[in-house]
Amino acid sequence: MSSSFGKLFVVTTWGESHGPAVGVVVDGMPPGLPFDAALLQRDLDRRRPGQSAITTQRSEADQAEVLSGVFDGQTTGTPICVLVRNQDAKSKDYDALKEVFRPGHADFTYAAKYGVRDHRGSGRASGRETLGRVAAGAIAKMLLGRHGVTIFAGTVAVADVVAERRDWDVAETNPVRCPDAAAAARMIEVIEAARADKDSVGGVVEVVARGCPPGWGDPTMEKLDGEIARALMSIPALKGIEIGTGFAATRLHGSQSNDSMGPDGFRTNHAGGILGGISTGQDVVARVAVKPASSIGKAQETVNAQGEAVTIAVEGRHDPCICPRVVPVAEAMLAIALANACLRQQALAGH
């Protein structure tokens, strides 16, 4: 129940950080579409640890194996299972943490919920679970591409450093994946400073879908913004999401925030491409709040499973800022939410 997203394009991830493998099953991909294996691997590489100096140095090739649902280079309409073996799991590093609840992590809540847990490398709560999401997102992009939809994403804030520009072609040219080259340089400084201090920083990731036709999304309980919110908020470490002008819209007047229309269409996009839960045809724009990474080398006070006070420093190979690695995951989850809305609208049309 907990591991699936979507009704028509159903994504089910499975796997633990230090188990034999992680992966995903995508059920509902339409048949007869070219399967772009290179896109799949490229997105996995963008999520992969060890890509740059500012990410974790865990070394995983993350080579995807497609086990089903593709034949002669085409999708067949049957479920697509993608598997990646775990290779560089250093479970020994976690022995000391077996009985300790790391602050900011899901250790305490998993113990409370399940009683038993695979503590190695955060088990199921590891960011490694997002690998399956990224694979599924790449498949969703193959579907969306057929409908003319393109997805962009990047880090638009790190701590107090805010990007002013949205040069999406710049985003992939710097390690922080910021669409503003000048801001990127300052963001990296902030991240390096946090790491030097055995600490971490947060930020904001923006994700945009361009080319969605008007009419996607179901009103009331399955609004497009609601589904996107759910999709993005299911990514680890996110504490907020906004659409279009978002929280800043609460400080405008209606005469400002209403997007007026002319014969050429909408004149502004405060709505972020969604009205009444349905796409308007403009860019769908979402931003998510990424909390500072929970794993830090600084000493922290916490308790162990027996409720006794302990002090820990989470050593190991961690990300001082996970924004650059959230970028491909946010793209994936937006693509998955839109793929569902796309199929849903197909079901309604043409009667």
Using CB under 8 A as the binding rule, the residues of this chain from 160 to 179 that contact its own copies are 160
From the CB of 163, what's the least distance to its own copies, in Å?
13
Kindly tell me which of 12 and 174 has the beta carbon lying closer to its own copies: 12
Buried-state track 123-135, b at ≥16 Cβ within 10 A, e below 16: bbbbbbbbbbbbb
Kindly tell me which of 7 and 173 has the beta carbon lying closer to its own copies: 7
From the CB of 46, what's the least distance to its own copies, in Å?
20
From the CB of 142, what's the least distance to its own copies, in Å?
10
The tokens describing 116, both together, are: 């038993």
From the CB of 167, what's the least distance to its own copies, in Å?
21
Site for its own copies in 36-65 (CB under 8 A): 65
From the CB of 350, what's the least distance to its own copies, in Å?
6
Are 141 and 335 spatial neighbours (Cβ–Cβ below 8 Å)? yes
Asked if residue 191 binds its own copies (CB under 8 A), the reply is no
Instruction: Kindly calculate the radius of gyration of the chain based on its CA atoms and give it in whole angstroms.
Output: 21
Site string for its own copies, 231-260 (x = CB under 8 A): xxxx-x-xxxxxxxxxx-xxxxxxxxxxxx
Distance CA 281, CA 262 (A): 14
Distance CA 240, CA 157 (A): 14
Binding residue (CB under 8 A) for its own copies from 52, 57, 91, 109 = 109
Kindly tell me which of 169 and 254 has the beta carbon lying closer to its own copies: 254
Binding residue (CB under 8 A) for its own copies from 279, 284, 325, 326 = 279
Distance CA 139, CA 136 (A): 5
Asked if residue 20 binds its own copies (CB under 8 A), the reply is yes
Q: Angle 323-348/130-146 helices, nearest 10 degrees? A: 50
Task: Give the DSSP H or E segment for 125.
Answer: none
Contacts of residue 239, defined as CB under 8 A and 6 or more positions apart, other chains included, come to 289, 290, 291
Site string for its own copies, 121-160 (x = CB under 8 A): --xxx---x-------------x--xx---------x-xx
Binding residue (CB under 8 A) for its own copies from 131, 139, 278, 338 = 278
From the CB of 344, what's the least distance to its own copies, in Å?
7
Site string for its own copies, 204-233 (x = CB under 8 A): x---------xxxxxxxxxx-xxx-xxxxx
Q: Is 9 helix (H, G, I), strand (E, B) or coil?
A: coil
Asked if residue 192 binds its own copies (CB under 8 A), the reply is no
DSSP conformational letter for 291: P
From the CB of 83, what's the least distance to its own copies, in Å?
7
Q: Which amino acid is at 230?
A: R
Kindly tell me which of 38 and 255 has the beta carbon lying closer to its own copies: 255
Per-residue CA distances from 52 to 230, 235, 318, 339 (Å): 30, 21, 12, 31
Asked if residue 91 binds its own copies (CB under 8 A), the reply is no
Distance CA 197, CA 188 (A): 14
Asked if residue 34 binds its own copies (CB under 8 A), the reply is no
Binding residue (CB under 8 A) for its own copies from 56, 101, 187, 329 = 101
Stretch that binds its own copies, among 40-48, 50-58, 175-183, 191-199 (CB under 8 A): 191-199
Q: Is 128 helix (H, G, I), strand (E, B) or coil?
A: helix
Q: Give the residue from 153, 137, 151 showing the smallest Cα distance to 203.
A: 153
Pairing relationship of beta strands 238-243 and 284-290 according to DSSP bridges: antiparallel
Distance CA 226, CA 231 (A): 9
Site for its own copies in 281-320 (CB under 8 A): 281, 289-296, 298, 300-303, 307-309
Asked if residue 275 binds its own copies (CB under 8 A), the reply is yes
